[in-house]
Amino acid sequence: MMFTTEMVQLFGVALGRDSQRLTEALLREGCMQFVKTSEYESKSPDGASADQDRLAEVSELRKRIEGFLHTAGIIPSVPEDADINNRVSVDIKKEDNLLNQIAAQREGVRDKQRVIHQEILKLEDIKRQMELYGRDFSDLKLASKSALISMQIGKLPASNLKQLENGLKDFLSFSAAVAIDGDMAHRFLISMKRDKSEINKVLAKAGWSEVELSNQMHSVNKNVFEEISTKLEKLSVEQKELETKAKNIIKSEVERLQATWVNLWVSELFNRIQINFEPSSRTIVFTGWLPVSRKAQLTKVITEACQGHCYLEFNGAGSKTTIGDGVPVQLKNPKFLEPFQMLVSNFGIPKYGTIDPTAFVMPVYLSMFGLMFADIGQGLVLVMLGFLSAYSLRNNQQKRGMYNLSWLIVWCGFSSVVFGGLFGSFFGMTIFKPIWFDFHGVVAGHSSGSSMIKDVYSILAITIYFGIMVITLGLLFNWVNMIRSRKWSELFFDKGGIFGGWIYGGGTYIAFYYVLHGYKMFPGGNVLFLLVGVPSILLFIKEPYHFFKHRQPGEKFGPIMIMNFLMCWVVELLEIFSGYLSNTLSFMRVAGLGIAHVCLMMSFFSLAEMTSGIGSIAILVLGNILVIGLEGLTAGIQALRLSYYEFFTKFFHGTGELYTPISLNSKN
């Protein structure tokens, strides 16, 4: 778990007749990340192109089906008991035609939805304009008030009503029936004044003539607003029914689509494996990486699939006989560490053979978060929110990152609870005796209850000690990585090497000695020379060593070169001293944010004391919500920043390639 998984490269040769059985065996095991065997004769251009075209065709259809299923809220996945030996061949053309039919049906429904949506927008706009000026339309008083709406009553032949409605479709307007008088229809028309000239043309063609509002029509006009509201409700219901109909079009075919998706996905994986086979007239050559732990099992299944007619050769990472340069990296951590593995992967993939820091990131990150956000009550809120989010995302593979983030919030909440217990804080109140010391009391200038922690400077000192431990751990990891990589010169001469660490340890001792002696005394000269002088002088060897080891023909050694050595040495010493000093002091922000967290809660309690009753309670509730949201986010970001830039940079080489074998669980 501390180091990346040991990998081995398989070089295999099998008979071409066993290609299908071999592919099935490799897919069933799902542990091989293929490498192109470019040094052997490759497929003919026509054959390679045909395989690529087939793969692209299958992949495109699968993704199209996946898109349809997503619209119905279905996330497809390959079942664990998928029978890849008896897979069903998919008729690409037939399934494509089915999708076209489904798409056509859905598009017809969508067209109706768009028409209804436009009608809803028109009515809502008219309703909004009418609400600005009131709802009483008696004697058309509204028309004189509104600068945007034009309203009128008129009559036209009843036979021309359809013509009128069609003509008004392109305008933001609404017409309501008022009365029927013989073969004449009386209509109430609301439109936008900006369209007046064009609407008048439509009205003229329909035989419209304006009339005065009679007393008998007053009550009808007063109900126009309610008529618009009723029509909007009906349109909204119709819109929802169409939405349900669109989803049902997919759901009626969901079983077939899911089965086809599975067959296409398996077929796609088959093609992806076989594209990595390099054929000759009778054989196929393949190679790839797998964990050493899977070597025996894979050898067995390949031998059985090829009935013993195969040649398998395994080469360890770093061997001169391996094909390709990089070795893929497998991060294998317990499931509960997945949120912290996500943090590591976001920074980079560790180089093969180096330390995987996931298990160490967990205590380092959570300790910093807890020191900055120490409160039992607020921590329990984070735990609850994280659990709810994780529960809602538990089956959504598309949002795996958010799922891990939810669990990270849960872990951070537990850290807050633990440190809240150490400091005796519950929603900003000290309602029980702290296990360690009273953080709130120290910030407020009272006794902490601990003989060790007396003031804010003592809190700052805690984070300094913590920072020294984290940086020292990073240096130790760097030395381990250098030893495993056999980079002996970097082990000693690198800024994070043994001499750099020697200077850091010596500087730390000198700083503590100076503080403990009342800022008045340094260690003796011999001790100073041993602690920082000796490693500083030894670092001078670095540049001459590199010069003579990598000396180019014609490159001369002289006074100018000596001056270059001196300048590089001085600059590197400045970088080491200033760098390690700033790295260590950077951890003081942990104390700073912890103090800010306490001060914010004290401020809200002071504000609450100025009021009483519901107002006081509201201030405390809103204050806690603000602190949980703002301080929680800030603490999380700062803990991540310190992990990345003060810890990872000491040893982490994020140049690795993630191990991604072709298997039924491969990501789409």
Concatenating the DSSP letter of every residue in 185-201 gives EEEEEEEEGGGHHHHHH
Sign of CA dihedral 252, 256, 262, 268: negative
Classified as helix, coil or strand, 502 is: helix
Q: What angle do CA 481, 485, 489 make, to 5 degrees?
A: 90
Torsion over CA of 247, 250, 255 and 258, rounded to 10 degrees? -110
Classified as helix, coil or strand, 543 is: helix
Q: What are phi and psi of 253, to 5 degrees?
A: -115, 15
For tokens 């949120």, the residue is 339
* 3-class SS letters over 565-631: HHHHHHHHHHHHHHHHHHHHHCCHHHHHHHHHHHHHHHHHHHHHHCCCCHHHHHHHHHHHHHHHHHH
What is the C-alpha separation between 565 and 557, in angstroms, rounded?
Answer: 11
What is the C-alpha separation between 474 and 355, in angstroms, rounded?
Answer: 10
Distances (CA, A) of 3 to 161, 223, 263, 339: 81, 77, 38, 18
Q: How many CA atoms lie within 13 A of 184 on its CB side?
A: 11
Compute the residue count for the chain: 668
DSSP class of residue 532? I
Q: Are 467 and 646 in contact (CB under 8 A)?
A: yes
- Under 8 Å CB-to-CB from 221, ≥6 apart: which residues? 137, 138, 153, 178, 188, 213
Q: What are phi and psi of 376, to 5 degrees?
A: -65, -50
What is the C-alpha separation between 138 and 421, in angstroms, rounded?
Answer: 71
Which run of H or of E encompasses 504? helix 498-516
Q: Give the chain's mean pLDDT.
A: 85
What is the C-alpha separation between 82 and 19, in angstroms, rounded?
Answer: 20
Residue among 348, 651, 317, 329 nearest 490 (CA): 651
Residue type, 595: I
Radius of gyration of the chain from its Cα atoms, rounded to whole angstroms: 37
Q: What is the pLDDT of residue 49?
A: 65
Q: What is the pLDDT of residue 222?
A: 52
Q: Which domains does the chain have, with CATH numbers?
A: 1-41+280-332+659-668 (3.30.70.120), 121-241 (3.30.70.2750), 355-650 (no CATH)
Q: Are 84 and 27 in contact (CB under 8 A)?
A: yes
Q: What are phi and psi of 614, to 5 degrees?
A: -65, -35
Q: What angle do CA 287, 292, 297 make, to 5 degrees?
A: 80
For tokens 């593979």, the residue is 397
Q: What is the pLDDT of residue 140?
A: 44
What is the C-alpha separation between 131 and 59, in angstroms, rounded?
Answer: 54
DSSP letter string over 425-468?
A: -BTTB--S--SS--HHHHHHTS--S-SS--SHHHHHHHHHHHHH
Q: Which residues of the chain have pLDDT under 70?
A: 1, 37-49, 80-81, 126-149, 172, 178-179, 212-225, 448-451, 667-668
Q: Are 15 and 648 in contact (CB under 8 A)?
A: no
What confidence tens digit (pLDDT) does each residue in 590-629 have? 999 999 999 999 999 999 988 888 989 999 999 999 999 9
DSSP class of residue 136? -
